[in-house]
Amino acid sequence: MKKSLVLGLALSLVMGLGVGCGPKTETTPAPEPAATETPAATEGEAPAETAAPEKIYIPVISKGFQHQFWQAVKLGAERAASDYGVEITFEGPETEAQVDKQLDMLQAALAKNPQAIALAALDSKAATSYLEKAEASGIPVVGFDSGVDSPIVKTTAATDNYAAAAAAADKMAELIGGSGKVGLIVHDQTSKTGVDRRDGFVKTLEEKYPDIEVVPVQYGEGDHAKSTEAAKAILTANPDIKGMFGANEGSIAGIINAAKELNKVGQITIIGFDSGKLLLDAIKADIVAGAITQDPVGIGYKAVEAAYKAYKGEESPEFIDTGFKWYDKTNMDTPEIKEVLYE
């Protein structure tokens, strides 16, 4: 009896152990798939579809910041940045005479290792070393407005300033009857816009209108006060002058001020370039005959668009012509002209 009882207990213990081991045998392989999946999950953390999108940064460095023209360019640049999903900064020196300050901005931009740069150079030659550094770092540079006189630059989004100033010269010749003295105030003689607008106006008059005399060009650095003094000097030295041309917003502002101060309003034909409230009001008041307008919003937009394409390795034409138009009292309120004017 005792032997039977002991034998029974022993068999029960053996069976209990067998049952207890059953689940362990079945679940032991279960961790193995997890072990093989773990490296796969680690390797899958970096695929493009799960990675954070790359930030595309494009600094936009203009020739200035004080004129409404540059604010309109900034608006266009911001629209392009939004459309293309890029981050931009827009900056420029307080005046268009501060070449060194613009170069400091360019140097600071390069230090941030951007994907591309859009530059309107105040002095193309002075910027050469920085452009070479950008090229060595694989940072494409595009020009806008005045552009940059360098083969390093991929493209330039701008007005054909020579052609635009030539159109202003033709209009001047028409309005003064094809003869007489003409003067002009230009913002500078170092930027491409300054050179092209000066040469487009002067050479067109010299080549096509032999009875028109162009008096020595004066430069006002795009500053209202300096341009006013330069214009007064021309008007004082040439009391018989028949026409004056201002090659940018600040230059024409100086001519308007000078004409008012010297009581020349109505006695001379004045033609401007760009727009701005002072110029628009002067045209409405018959102080200025008319002006050439660019498309500053389009310039800013095309600059950022071209910089983005350059970063992506896409080709752009060597020059992106953003166009120009003549406007005066008769058409300045039409939709076509009104959309490219600014105050």
What pLDDT, in 10s, does the model give residues 218-267? Answer: 999 999 999 999 999 999 999 999 999 999 999 999 999 999 999 999 99
Among 305, 276, 277, 275, which Cα is nearest to 291's? 275
- N residues, the chain: 343
Phi, psi of 7 (to 5 degrees): -65, -40
pTM (2 decimals)? 0.74
Contacts of 250 (CB under 8 A, 6+ apart): 67, 96, 187, 220, 221, 222, 223, 224, 227
pLDDT at site 39? 39
pLDDT at site 148? 84
- Alpha carbons 255 and 260: distance in angstroms, whole number: 9
Query: What b/e string do you get for 96-113 counting C-beta neighbours within 10 Å, with b at 16 or more?
Result: bbbbeebbebbeebbeee
* Class of the CATH domain delimited by 57-159+296-323: alpha beta
pLDDT at site 66? 75
Q: What's the fold here for domain 161-293?
A: Rossmann fold (3.40.50)
Write down the domain spans for the chain.
Answer: 57-159+296-323, 161-293
CB atoms within 10 A of CB 293: 24
Identical fold, 57-159+296-323 and 161-293: yes
pLDDT at site 65? 86
pLDDT at site 43? 42
The list of the chain residues with pLDDT below 50 reads: 1-53
- Long-range contacts: 259-266, Cβ < 8 Å, 24+? 259/231, 259/235, 259/287, 260/287, 261/228, 261/232, 262/232, 262/235, 262/236, 264/235
pLDDT at site 46? 43
Query: What's the N-to-C CA distance of the chain in angstroms?
Result: 117
